[in-house]
Structure 1
Amino acid sequence: MSAPLILLTAGGTGGHLFPAEALANALKAAGAKVALATDKRANAYAGSFPADEIVEIPSATPSGRSLPQMAKAAFMLGQGTLKSVSMIRRMKPAVVVGFGGYPTVPPVLAASFIKVPSVIHEANGVMGRANRLLARRATVIATGFADIRGVPANVPGKQVHTGNPIRPAVLEAARQPYATLEPNGKLRLLVVGGSQGARVMSDVVPPAVERLPAELRARLAITQQARGEDLDRVREQYRTLGVEFEAEPFFKDLPQRLAQAHLVVSRSGASTVAELAVIGRPSILVPLPGSLDQDQAANAKTLGDLGAAIVCPQSDFTPERLSQEIQLFFQEPDRLTRAAAAAHSASITDAAERLAQVVLTLIHSHNNGKNP
């Protein structure tokens, strides 16, 4: 029998594409073929994606209160769905797997229209709006967390907890054990804010470092991801303080930098939380505020409840608060080591293989006319 083709579809950000990439690797290892449908934002990430074919699908996010904007988004999603129907008929995938974000809506909708089985994967602790829209049409709903909120009532599809698939680069970095902070040793601080950095990190972290006693500043080694427009001022602040630092808009080797860190200050997207757990690193997590779903707050809580992370709402994320937390870690380095172990206790390293097995089982049951 020829190898089955699995069509993966994901929004064009790292948070959606990284778990799709991990599943693609697991499916390829199992002998399947893989195609990817995404949007034009994926160009920054798709170069390394192990797909036999990558197709760009028109999509838009129907947000805002402007009727013309909503109408334009609906039109784009309709266009994407028509293109997806044509694409699926041409490719004949055995299963369509969606990873969230509105670019997944047209392919998964199209799959349901022409009776191709589908899986949607929800990475966050609260189901996102795109996945909520698709939940009643999916054959299987896979989840990154054991308990998630926001799943519509009485969805017909089967729900299964797989964890969040992890890229090979992260699994490789996870082989590096946590290095205990030595007395008088350097504390390696990694500051990230999502795939494109976050302004709040640039606004808060350098002033927090400035508030540290000079002897503690001398013991810091900072790696910070900053938006391009914030980069010069962040660098200048650290130069003025005489702190050892590296600041860039993007780090291609971020998993390795996570592994080298004693402490991570970050947003709490699902991929970030999963990677912190698999690599086993303590963190101060600042959930993205203002989200309708509050998904990042739910993600952060999973590590906060274990003592693996300090969860700090952005309203409380001030230079004074961050400076105080860093000083406490310098004074009690054992807290870092315990938090690292707590983070690692939440890791699921075989989530990609679990999800691949769900997909392959669905193919088998569909071909045999059985329920999944």
Structure 2
Amino acid sequence: MTVVSRHYVLAAGGTGGHLIPAFALATELVKRGHHVALVTDSRGAAIPGKPDFLPAHVIPAGRLGGKNPLNWLRGLRAIMEGRRMALRLFESFQPSAVIGFGGYPAFPAVIAAHKAGLPTIIHEQNAVLGRVNRFLADKVDAIATAYREIARLDPKHEGKVHLVGNPVREDVLALREQPYPPFTEDGLLRVLVTGGSQGARVLSEVVPDGLAMLQPALRTRLQVTQQCRAEDIDAVRQRYASHGIPAELATYFEDMAERLADAHLFIGRSGASTIAELTAVGRPAILIPLPIATDDHQAANTREMVEAGGARAIRQPMATVPNPANYDGDRRNQMLRQQAGLFHDMAKDICRQIQAIAQDPHSLGNAAHAAWNCGYPNATSDLADLVESFGAAPLMDVIRMGGAAPAAAGREATA
């Protein structure tokens, strides 16, 4: 089979949630003999983990929103400048298709591709269609999704939908065929706790206390690994020491895949990449969605895994989000008392959920299998197949496939 080399542009916002699947797709497309370029913002161009072979083109990424007309004007100007820069890139790079992964930098790139008559695809990592992807849904040729049910998706676009899953890092996907680590009635219970920059603080407050409330038969078997914010790590270390719970703490673990492989239970936020990795490997979880996530998408992300029996979800009250340090006097003291009570309730809930999910080796193992069944191990290759089906001339597909040209090459999207 002769492989025809094409050019593709991937456009993504500068966060890991948008870029991890973009990097996975880029790696797969390059393996298939294609050339790939990335359009992002300055954060995305500098983010750790970007493949060396992937050139990054930084374009302006304006936001449209708010009540101030000047903000709208500035946002529109940035979008139009980003679109002009993307069009210049397309003239020299000649992409066969442009794939957006959400985030504001994806918007000008995809609308530029639409203007240029290029095939366009968007990938939605969350269970709620993101704001940028909602703007683009009417213009693109296909919508790739990571969940069977996607909120905020207009029914008129359902014919464009392709369920592929959310691509994960290769080192994580390689763990899928490894067995769940043995968990016996008298063996260690290894717990992995992580949270994003906005989420680690509440986990640092409530998880140590929740673990301390476990029945002694389970508490004395704990071995905790927790990722903390730098400003919280000393206090968290003291918390675990006061409870007599062994814990390894760090602000960053380079070997996170190995930590996940060893873990019996995960506790943390429910961002799209986190859910994708938990289900790829098959690890049961206590999920605490970020309450201020746009459109409450982290709560939506938990639904499929919870319904399958692979996770349990705990809601964080919005009242725990404000930082009391930003207030003075009686108001600050009132907030501290309120948060202390809410943190205590969350810790008790964590204790109850762990007791329920880890009451015996069979229940924890069953939850791990349920999480594994929710995974999409072929997400990267399925997304690459979808991408390759767009933008090819019939003659190119004859060469690529070694046979007759398919009818309407890749232009019919199926749900």
Q: Which secondary structure state, in structure 2, belongs to the residue aligned with residue 169 of structure 1? A: helix
| Counterpart for residue 343 of structure 1 | 371
- After superposition, the C-alpha distances for 1:10-58 in whole angstroms (9 at most, x for unaligned) are 1111111111111112111211111111112225535442544111122
Relative to structure 1, the CA distance from residue 55 to residue 174 in structure 2 (aligned partners, 3 Å threshold; closer, same or farther) is: same
The counterpart of 1:261, out of the listed 250, 260, 263, is 263
Unaligned runs of 5+ in 1: none
Q: Distance in 2 between matches of 1:196 and 1:43?
A: 22
Structure index of larger Rg:
2
Q: Distance in 2 between matches of 1:357 and 1:304?
A: 30
For 1:237, give the aligned amino acid. Answer: R
Q: Distance in 2 between matches of 1:214 and 1:72?
A: 59
2:250 is aligned with 1:222: no
For 1:361, give the aligned amino acid. Answer: S
When structure 1 is superposed on structure 2, of 316-325 and 153-162 the one drifting more is 153-162
| Counterpart for residue 348 of structure 2 | 320
2:193 is aligned with 1:191: yes
Give the drift of 1:72: 3.0
Q: Residues 226 and 247 of structure 1 are in contact (CA less than 8 Å); yes or no, is this contact kept in structure 2? A: yes
Q: Residues 196 and 249 of structure 1 are in contact (CA less than 8 Å); yes or no, is this contact kept in structure 2? A: no
Q: Distance in 2 between matches of 1:304 and 1:228?
A: 31
Q: Residues 314 and 350 of structure 2 are in contact (CA less than 8 Å); yes or no, is this contact kept in structure 1? A: no
**TM-score, L = length of structure 2:** 0.83
Q: Distance in 1 between matches of 2:108 and 2:384?
A: 22
2:294 is aligned with 1:295: no
Q: Residues 34 and 50 of structure 1 are in contact (CA less than 8 Å); yes or no, is this contact kept in structure 2? A: no
Q: Distance in 1 between matches of 2:197 and 2:254?
A: 10
Q: Residues 26 and 54 of structure 2 are in contact (CA less than 8 Å); yes or no, is this contact kept in structure 1? A: no
1:232-311 residue pairs with structure 2 within 5 A? Answer: 232-311=234-313
- After superposition, the C-alpha distances for 1:92-115 in whole angstroms (9 at most, x for unaligned) are 111111111111111111111111
Q: Distance in 1 between matches of 2:16 and 2:197?
A: 6
1:59-78 residue pairs with structure 2 within 5 A? Answer: 59-78=61-80
Relative to structure 1, the CA distance from residue 159 to residue 325 in structure 2 (aligned partners, 3 Å threshold; closer, same or farther) is: closer
Q: Which secondary structure state, in structure 2, belongs to the residue aligned with residue 305 of structure 1? A: helix
Q: Residues 207 and 350 of structure 2 are in contact (CA less than 8 Å); yes or no, is this contact kept in structure 1? A: yes
Q: Residues 21 and 50 of structure 1 are in contact (CA less than 8 Å); yes or no, is this contact kept in structure 2? A: no
For 1:21, give the aligned amino acid. Answer: F
Relative to structure 1, the CA distance from residue 249 to residue 78 in structure 2 (aligned partners, 3 Å threshold; closer, same or farther) is: farther
Give the drift of 1:249: 2.3
When structure 1 is superposed on structure 2, of 122-131 and 59-68 the one drifting more is 59-68
Q: Residues 197 and 227 of structure 1 are in contact (CA less than 8 Å); yes or no, is this contact kept in structure 2? A: no
Q: Distance in 1 between matches of 2:197 and 2:171?
A: 16
The counterpart of 1:355, out of the listed 367, 376, 383, is 383
Relative to structure 1, the CA distance from residue 67 to residue 205 in structure 2 (aligned partners, 3 Å threshold; closer, same or farther) is: farther
| Counterpart for residue 322 of structure 2 | none
Percent identity, aligned pairs only? 40
When structure 1 is superposed on structure 2, of 21-30 and 225-234 the one drifting more is 225-234
Q: Residues 39 and 103 of structure 1 are in contact (CA less than 8 Å); yes or no, is this contact kept in structure 2? A: yes
| Counterpart for residue 147 of structure 1 | 149
Give the drift of 1:222: 1.0
Q: Which secondary structure state, in structure 2, belongs to the residue aligned with residue 86 of structure 1? A: helix
Give the drift of 1:333: 3.0
Q: Residues 314 and 349 of structure 2 are in contact (CA less than 8 Å); yes or no, is this contact kept in structure 1? A: no
- After superposition, the C-alpha distances for 1:76-107 in whole angstroms (9 at most, x for unaligned) are 22322222122222211111111111111111
For 2:309, give the aligned amino acid. Answer: G
The counterpart of 2:101, out of the listed 99, 102, 105, is 99
Q: Which secondary structure state, in structure 2, belongs to the residue aligned with residue 102 of structure 1? A: coil
| Counterpart for residue 206 of structure 2 | 204
When structure 1 is superposed on structure 2, of 225-234 and 17-26 the one drifting more is 225-234
For 1:23, give the aligned amino acid. Answer: L
Q: Distance in 2 between matches of 1:116 and 1:43?
A: 24
Q: Residues 358 and 364 of structure 2 are in contact (CA less than 8 Å); yes or no, is this contact kept in structure 1? A: no
**TM-score, L = length of structure 1:** 0.92
Q: Distance in 1 between matches of 2:25 and 2:349?
A: 39
Relative to structure 1, the CA distance from residue 153 to residue 327 in structure 2 (aligned partners, 3 Å threshold; closer, same or farther) is: closer
Q: Which secondary structure state, in structure 1, belongs to the residue aligned with residue 231 of structure 2? A: helix
Q: Which secondary structure state, in structure 2, belongs to the residue aligned with residue 31 of structure 1? A: coil
- After superposition, the C-alpha distances for 1:279-300 in whole angstroms (9 at most, x for unaligned) are 0000011122134422212210
Q: Residues 4 and 33 of structure 2 are in contact (CA less than 8 Å); yes or no, is this contact kept in structure 1? A: no
The counterpart of 2:392, out of the listed 340, 345, 364, is 364
| Counterpart for residue 85 of structure 2 | 83
The counterpart of 1:119, out of the listed 104, 111, 121, is 121
| Counterpart for residue 57 of structure 1 | 59
The counterpart of 1:334, out of the listed 362, 383, 392, is 362
Aligned residues: CA RMSD: 2.4
| Counterpart for residue 18 of structure 1 | 20
Q: Which secondary structure state, in structure 2, belongs to the residue aligned with residue 96 of structure 1? A: strand
When structure 1 is superposed on structure 2, of 126-135 and 154-163 the one drifting more is 154-163
When structure 1 is superposed on structure 2, of 360-369 and 171-180 the one drifting more is 360-369
